[in-house]
């Protein structure tokens, strides 16, 4: 896996048309605050103009960036290009929701320089979408995906969620089959998790919805990995699949490779290789302080940095340097043990996870001892 060694720029667009039941990302209903947010964002961007000489990616996430009209998006990307230097072939991604997709809108995005689309499909089944509280149905998702793929952008990613309450392995196979029939360049498959402070979590606690048993969750993970890899996708990170190396998410890989990134907008996180800080998750406060009011900041010790490198690396196909791994194990023999369990392999001096290793990546990580 090759990634740029240039930092990435993330912009958090904190607006959604409606809150999905499972979502704990920071977002508020689309409102009149758009202008104020944009103004604060641009001010915040100005404060960090010297973060890095050059960026290798720009990523608009959220929230739902596709709730923004093209002119607002244009203003933002234009401003970013003025303030920051981007490499010529920088990856420029925008997250979009099916209900916002139209041919014109996508063409507009391409004109603005976006060269990667991340479409929030989640499922091709109406039951699932209803339960998740998404703003689109299956037909809409398929139609949107079709438009994206036909736009000629050639770098479309879709998000899918599995283990959605009553979803059966067969239902999940159906979703995988539908996804494959479109051949998007990238697929992310996330297991549904009940996060605190979400509607679905409350429903789960009240017994209104169930979670499939762990065995089924595990089987669904394996189904996805098998099916997609058999069909030419590369399983390069726990939840990520791409059609070939070139289509993996370069921006997301920055997080996993532990490269610096600058995050703008409420709740966004930044990391400069030593410090990590984040904005508060409150739009009013963000607008008032233009990001000057931090939600938190931590300076990472060398040991903590390496520890992160280890557990993040073990979630990717690239794995981690074997010598680094050894330094963080209480006993080198543990490597043999983990290999014996079929979780890891040694390849060219690196410790890399197997498919099963992805499934147990948290478990594997616990074998590594943080050092002060």
Partner 1 sequence: MSNIRNFSIVAHIDHGKSTLADRFIQHVGLVSERAFHDQLLDDMDLERERGITIKSQTVRLPYRSRDGSEYILNLIDTPGHVDFSYEVSRALAACEGILLLVDAAQGVEAQTVANLYAALEHDLTIIPVINKVDLDSADVERVREEIEQELGLDASEALLCSAKVGTGVEEVLEAIVERIPPAGRDMESSLKALIFDANYDPYRGSVISCRINRGSVRAGDEVKLMSIDSIHTVEEVGIFKLKMEEQKSLSAGEVGYIIAGIKNISDTRIGDTIILASDQSTDPLPGFKEVKPMVFSSIYPIERDTVGALDDAISRYKLNDASLTYSRDSSASLGQGFRCGFLGLLHLDIFQQRLEREFDVSVIMTAPSVEYQFVLTDGEEISVQNPQYYPNENEIERSLEPFVRASILIPDSYMGSVMKLCLGRRGVNPHYHYVGTGRMEVMIDMPLAEIIYDFYDRLKSITRGYGTFDYEFLEYREENLVKVDFLVNKEKVDALSIIVHRDRARQRGLEVCEGLKKEIPKHMFKIPIQAAIGNNVIARKTISALRKDVTAKCYGGDVTRKRKLLEKQAEGKKRMKMVGKVMIPQSAFVSVLKTNED
What is the binding site for partner 1 (CB under 8 A)?
10, 190-191, 193, 214-215, 217-218, 221, 238-239, 252, 255-256, 261, 263, 267-271, 276, 278, 298, 304, 307-308, 311-312, 315, 330-331, 337, 341, 343, 358-363, 365-366, 368-370
Which residue in 3, 57, 64, 188 binds ligand SF4 (CB under 6 A)?
Answer: 64
Nearer to ligand SF4, 197 or 366 (CB): 197
| Residue with the shortest CB distance to ligand SF4 | 23
Nearer to partner 1, 142 or 308 (CB): 308
Contact flag: residue 97 with ligand SF4 (CB under 6 A):
yes
Say if strands 261-264 and 28-29 run parallel, antiparallel, or are unpaired.
Answer: unpaired
Distances in Å between the Cα of 290 and the Cα atoms of 46, 58, 266 are 10, 20, 9
Picking from 358, 288, 319, 205, the residue whose alpha carbon sits closest to that of residue 37 is: 288
Contact flag: residue 16 with ligand SF4 (CB under 6 A):
yes
- For ligand SF4 (CB under 6 A), the number of binding residues is 11
Contact flag: residue 118 with ligand SF4 (CB under 6 A):
no
Contact flag: residue 23 with ligand SF4 (CB under 6 A):
yes
Which pair of tokens denotes residue 104?
């014109």
Contact flag: residue 20 with ligand SF4 (CB under 6 A):
yes
**Cβ proximity of 257 and 250 under 8 Å:** no
Alpha helix segments (H runs only) across the chain: 34-47, 70-83, 103-111, 126-132, 138-150, 169-182, 199-205, 214-230, 250-257, 283-289, 302-313, 322-327, 333-340, 355-359, 361-365
Query: 56 contacts which partner out of ligand SF4, partner 1, none, CB within 5 to 8 A by kind?
Result: none
Contact flag: residue 62 with ligand SF4 (CB under 6 A):
yes
Q: How far is the CB of 129 from partner 1 (least distance, A)?
A: 19
Q: How far is the CB of 130 from ligand SF4 (least distance, A)?
A: 14
Contact flag: residue 63 with ligand SF4 (CB under 6 A):
yes
Q: In what order do the strands lie in the sheet with 344-347?
A: 320-321, 350-353, 344-347
Query: 360 contacts which partner out of partner 1, ligand SF4, none, CB within 5 to 8 A by kind?
Result: partner 1
Query: 23 contacts which partner out of ligand SF4, partner 1, none, CB within 5 to 8 A by kind?
Result: ligand SF4
Q: How far is the CB of 300 from partner 1 (least distance, A)?
A: 8
**DSSP per residue, 92-135:** EEEEE-GGG--HHHHHHHHHTT--EEEEEEE-S-HHHHHHHT-S
**DSSP per residue, 235-280:** EEETTEEESSGGGS-HHHHHHHHT--EEEESTT-EEE-SSEEEEE-
């Amino acid at each position: 896996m090759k990634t740029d060694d240039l930092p990435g720029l993330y912009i958090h667009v904190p607006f959604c048309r409606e809150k999905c039941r499972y979502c704990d990302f920071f977002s508020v209903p689309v409102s009149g605050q758009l202008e104020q947010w944009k103004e604060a964002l641009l001010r915040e961007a100005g404060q960090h103009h010297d973060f890095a000489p050059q960026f290798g990616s720009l990523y608009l996430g959220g929230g739902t960036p596709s709730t923004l009209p093209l002119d607002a998006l244009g203003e933002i990307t234009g401003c970013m290009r003025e303030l920051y230097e981007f490499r010529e072939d920088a990856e420029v991604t925008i997250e979009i929701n099916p209900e916002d997709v139209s041919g014109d809108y996508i063409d507009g995005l391409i004109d603005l320089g976006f060269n990667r689309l991340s479409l929030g499909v989640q499922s091709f089944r109406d039951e699932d979408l209803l339960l998740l509280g998404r703003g689109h149905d299956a037909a809409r998702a398929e139609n949107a995906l079709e438009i994206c793929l036909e736009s000629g952008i050639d770098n479309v990613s879709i998000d899918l969620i599995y283990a959605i309450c009553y979803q059966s392995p067969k239902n999940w196979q159906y979703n995988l089959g539908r996804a494959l029939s479109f051949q998007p360049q990238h697929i992310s498959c996330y297991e549904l998790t009940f996060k605190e402070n979400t509607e679905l979590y409350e429903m789960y606690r009240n017994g209104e919805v169930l979670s499939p048993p762990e065995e089924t969750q595990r089987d669904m993970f394996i189904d996805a990995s098998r099916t997609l890899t058999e069909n030419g996708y590369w399983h390069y990170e726990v939840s990520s699949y791409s059609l070939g190396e070139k289509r993996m998410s370069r921006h997301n890989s920055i997080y996993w490779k532990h490269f610096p990134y600058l995050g703008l907008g409420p709740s966004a996180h930044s990391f400069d290789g030593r410090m990590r800080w984040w904005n508060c998750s409150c739009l009013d406060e963000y607008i008032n302080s233009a990001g000057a009011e931090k939600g938190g900041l931590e300076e990472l010790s060398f040991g903590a940095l390496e520890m992160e490198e280890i557990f993040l690396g073990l979630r990717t196909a690239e794995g981690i340097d074997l010598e680094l791994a050894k330094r963080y194990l209480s006993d080198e023999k543990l490597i043999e043990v983990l290999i014996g369990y079929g979780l890891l392999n040694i390849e060219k001096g690196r410790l890399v996870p197997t498919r099963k290793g992805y499934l147990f990546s948290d478990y594997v990580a616990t074998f590594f001892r943080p050092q002060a």
